[in-house]
Structure 1
Amino acid sequence: MKVTIEITDQFGHVCQGKNDYEDQSRRLTAQGESVCYLTTQAFQFHTGDHIKMIADQPGYYVVKLDESLSETLVYLPTGQLDYCVNLDDAWVATRSELAFKTNRHYWYFRAATDTELSCERDLALNPMDQPDFNGSYPHVVANAVTRNEPGFAAQNAINGLVASGWHGEYPYTSWGNDQRTDATFTVEFGQPVLVKAIGIVLRADFPHDSYWTQGKLTFSDGQSQVVQFERSGQVQLIQLSQPILTTNLMLSELVKAPDAALFAALTAIQIFGNN
């Protein structure tokens, strides 16, 4: 299995980088058998640049896009991940201030192992997810975002952060439903996975925040469950009576507590299970 990493600009041209003791710049591309890495000590990203991970077959892969992001296990249905770098101020505020800002870089791409796939893990975790689908699952879709601001985008709830005691910029990002009673939030897995439990972290910036007292979880086969929430910023674990095979999980019918605060929000959703 061939795997490739390449960094391109907004026009699709392969970018150039170099190491400290190199006289000449070189193309930022690398290829390997099942695993490869790409490095440089002198390259700066610009908005519209792309980080591309390309495999010659679909499957699960472990990817590292930036020094500020952990290696992440994702499903690539086409074998390709195309991450478009966005350095606009509003998006920069949702990440570590070092994300995509350094000169020295290390990118990594490999096929996932059978052991990794069989182990129970957070099936929702994907800090690389973007509103426009970039080729990687899990991917989250919502029909409402508070003021359409990146700090309240749906992707914030699957980025691995659980800092629920504040709101707004990193590390206190969350999904805000714009106070809509018809808001839906759906985690898509790309293929069937076995879900055993769900962890919900409500934002708890009290008294600025209210909270949801209940919501509805719906699986791709139509099974659903109404769940109750407490006024807490801790993980609230919902253990399923039996594992459910599903391709997605939707959170909907959110009911806000009858208090004076206007905003309720989701800091994180964790979906535990395995392939």
Structure 2
Amino acid sequence: MKITHTDRLGKKLSEASGENSVEIEILGEFGFEDILIFEMEPGSFVEVDIDPTFNKSIVYAPDGKIVYQLPVGPKARAYDPEAFKGERHLITMERVSREWLAKRRNLAMNSLDTRWDTGYFPHASANVVTRDEPWFEAKNAIDGHLSRVGHGAWPYQSWGGGLRDDLVFRLDFGREVLIDEIVIYLRADYADDHDINWESGVVTFSDGEKMPISMKKVEEGQSYAFAEKKVTWIELSELKREISAAFSALTQIEVFGRDIL
């Protein structure tokens, strides 16, 4: 296993390796659009801790590689302003045991996800992103952060598609998993009627089954349990709200289940 730190042009700045875990200490400030490359055996599950402001994430890397370019400019506004700041950075990667993979957990969270196809999973995508602004990208709905009484940049990043009625959110796991519950946290910027809740929607599973759901105007997560099923992806679509001129958005989606070993 190996972690490599390069500049935006791919020039290697530092590197560290290990058998089942690896950590790298980077001294000094990061450069503009620096890149972190995590390498491991193809098909590996690794837990990555990339920054204190990020949630640790279990990532599945079918090709044995995770390439993460540090966000800058408008992209950085979807993250804590302190992310990747300072003169000392400790980044770790650890192989995940089969025993842990067999346990029930939230299979959706990946704080390292980015908007476009990454080659590692879980990965969120959507057919529409409000004004193409980073703080409304689908990846925000699986970053593990739950602040939801406002809207816009950090800490209220969410997936939003504006006032469209044809929205589709997709979550790819990159392999077959067994799931039995979905929890949805709607963005709850209900002050002055900025937000309104979606009242209904449809969850489509990769096996073709559809599950209609109803949603309420609440801040807490809304749970939808079902008999355990094998899937590779899920989609959320047919989202309906009562007032077409009010916004609705998804702060977080959690999908509980386990890996198939």
**TM-score, normalising length: structure 1:** 0.90
Instruction: Tell me what 1:151 maps to.
Output: 135
**Which of 187-196 and 70-79 deviates more?**
70-79
Distance in 2 of aligned mates of 1:75 and 1:224:
26
| 1:47 is aligned to 2:55 | no
SS in structure 1 at match of 2:131: helix
Structure 1 residue aligned with 2:168: 184
Corresponding position of 1:29? 15
Q: Residue 67 of structure 1 contacts residue 105 of structure 1 at CA under 8 Å; is this kept in 2? A: no
2:201 to 212, 215, 232: 215
**For residues 34-59 of structure 1, what are the alpha-carbon distances to aligned partners after superposition, in whole Å with 9 as ceiling and x for unaligned?**
2111113x222233211000013322
CA distance, structure 1, for counterparts of residue 179 and residue 41 of structure 2: 29
Q: 1:69 aligns with which of 54, 74, 79?
A: 54
Q: What 5-or-longer segments of structure 1 have no aligned partner?
A: 16-27
1:75-94 maps to which residues of 2 (within 5 A)? Answer: 75-88=60-73, 90-94=74-78
Residue 38 (1) aligns with residue 24 (2): yes
Q: Give the letter for the 2:29 counterpart.
A: Q
1:252 paired residue number: 237
Q: Which residue in the other structure is 2:212 paired with?
A: 226
After TM superposition, give the deviation of residue 94 of structure 1 in Å: 1.3
Alignment of 1:127 with 2:111, yes or no, is yes
Structure 2: 5+ residue runs without aligned partners?
none
- 1:101 is aligned to 85
Contact 1:46–1:87 (CA<8 Å) still a contact in 2? no
8 Å CA contact 1:43, 1:104 repeated in 2 = yes
- Indicate if the aligned counterparts of 1:163 and 1:171 stay in contact, CA closer than 8 A: yes
The answer to whether the aligner puts 1:115 opposite 2:121 as a matched pair is no
Instruction: Work out the CA distance in 1 between the residues paired with 2:30 and 2:18.
Output: 24
Q: Check the 8 A contact 2:55/2:143 in 1, yes or no.
A: no
* Aligned-residue offset at 1:254: 0.3
Identity %: 33
**1-structure distance, mates of 2:218, 2:32:** 38
The runs of at least 4 aligned residues of structure 1 exceeding 3 Å deviation read none
Deviation at 1:11, TM superposition (A): 1.4
TM (norm. structure 2) is 0.95
Shift of 1:171: 1.2
User: Are the aligned partners of 1:144 and 1:177 in contact in 2 as well (CA < 8 Å)?
Assistant: yes
Displacement of 1:201 in angstroms is: 0.7
CA distance in 2, matches of 1:100, 1:257: 41
Relative distance call for 1:64 and 1:54 in structure 2 (3 A) is same
Q: Secondary structure at the match of 1:93?
A: helix
Task: Report the RMSD for the aligned CA atoms in angstroms.
Answer: 1.3
Q: Answer with 1 or 2: which has the greater Rg.
A: 1
Distance in 2 (alpha carbons) for counterparts of 1:164 and 1:56? 38
